[in-house]
Amino acid sequence: MLLTRKQSPGLAIMDPLQEANGTFALNLLKILGEDSLKNVFFSPMSISSSLAMVFMGAKGNTASQMAQALSLDKCSGNGGGDVHQGFQSLLTEVNKTGTQYLLKTANRLFGEKTLDILASFKDSCRKFYEAEMEELDFKGDTEQSRQHINTWVAKKTEDKITELLSRESVNPDTLLVLVNAIYFKGNWEKQFNKEDTREMPFKVSKNEEKPVQMMFKKSTFKATYIGEIATEILLLPYAGNELNMIIMLPDEHVELKTVEKEITYEKFIEWTRLDKMQEQKVEVFLPRFKLEENYDMKDFLCKLGMTDAFEDRADFSGISSKQGLSLSKVVHKSFMEVNEEGTEAAAATAAVFILGSPLYTPRFCANHPFLFFIQHVKTNGILFCGRFSSP
């Protein structure tokens, strides 16, 4: 995230945060997916955690709007320690070592060297988000500062996100950039055999088909059918069973936007409860796919009610008391590749400040648009989510 100078004269508390983050993820999925023919892919955890750092320095109406947009009003203390302690617990759990997959998130603050940032804000970013502050010379050498940030993000995402900040996104007025990066690579618990992959048609719409490389696996998986939205749900675990990919595939006569409209976090949790899913032998057809998306989040966040943060009336006095700050940009880039072995995904977010009864189908064929979520089992956290509409 980028801050610019204003232009004018524990897991004990995970549940509310889990609900807040999940609600935000699904709200964003609906807004990003308003064009039903486009693919969507983002990391709600990356966006939430970077904006939560900004929220920590917001006051007054700016803070209220951010709490509403991020659904953090579900957490007690509205801007108090509960939210940030919750993120601290969540990030600790997500970044734990010794797993069979690779998952890491990283946060960092890049400040203009002349900006007087409150010690309390720096301390809180370090304590709750493990985000260190690094001084850069945006005023004197904007381009070198931009490249430095992009290099840091590339390193944290195994070179999957190389140009988080474009040339236009920073300028000599940039005061503070908050960055979050997330990277994931995991193998399926039950891998697909490459020899079984073959070209098949993917029905983009009633009148359009495109060829895809369709993977195939016949094995035992947890699955269920939700009658109220006429949708099959399949759970594909990653090695170690600590992360799952959840795929929601509506019946062929049902449009995906019908499902998107109906879905809430409460329903999502209810529909994907492990004890409600039946384990059964299933023939799974899943396309091999790669997604790379790039979002300027300002308009989407404004649609969620977070408008003051981008205006001259923004109140970020919890970050710096000397200069008036407003958000100029929130950018998010994401990358994902799904193949026979498993999934590789990465995302980065920068904020820039300036002046039913279960039926069962033994054949799960994802040959038309579907939703997918990569979920952290222990915290129920949605790390990545999206929609595959078109190869």
Q: What homologous superfamily does CATH list for 2-187+290-354?
A: Antithrombin, subunit I, domain 2 (3.30.497.10)
> What architecture is the 194-288+358-388 domain classified under in CATH?
Roll (2.30)
pTM score, whole prediction = 0.88
Which ranges in the chain are annotated with CATH 2.30.39.10?
194-288+358-388
Element (H, E) at 14: helix 14-32
Kindly indicate the confidence band of residue 356, based on its pLDDT and cuts at 50, 70 and 90.
very low
Please list, in sequence order, all residues whose beta carbon lies within 8 angstroms of the beta carbon of residue 141, skipping any fewer than 6 positions away.
none
Q: Is 322 exposed, middle or buried (0-12, 13-18, 19+ CB in 10 A)?
A: exposed
Summarize the confidence of residues 288-314 as an average pLDDT. 90
- Report the amino acid identity of residue 237: P
pLDDT tens sequence across 233-264: 999 999 988 899 999 999 998 989 889 999 99
DSSP-assigned beta bridge partners for residue 293: 334
Q: What are the start and end residues of each CATH 3.30.497.10 domain in the chain?
A: 2-187+290-354
- Mean pLDDT within 87-102: 88
Residue 275 in this model has a pLDDT that exceeds 80: no
Strand partners, 304: none
Paired residues of 110 in beta bridges: 134, 177
Predicted confidence at residue 35, as pLDDT, reads 77
Q: Kindly indicate the confidence band of residue 321, based on its pLDDT and cuts at 50, 70 and 90.
A: confident
Contact 254, 225 (CB under 8 A): no
For residue 10, pLDDT beyond 50: no
Start-to-end CA distance of the chain, whole Å, equals 30
Mean pLDDT, range 358-367, rounded to an integer: 71
Q: How confident is the model at residue 323 (pLDDT cuts 50, 70, 90)?
A: low
More confident residue, 298 or 37: 298
The pLDDT of 101-105, averaged and rounded, is: 88
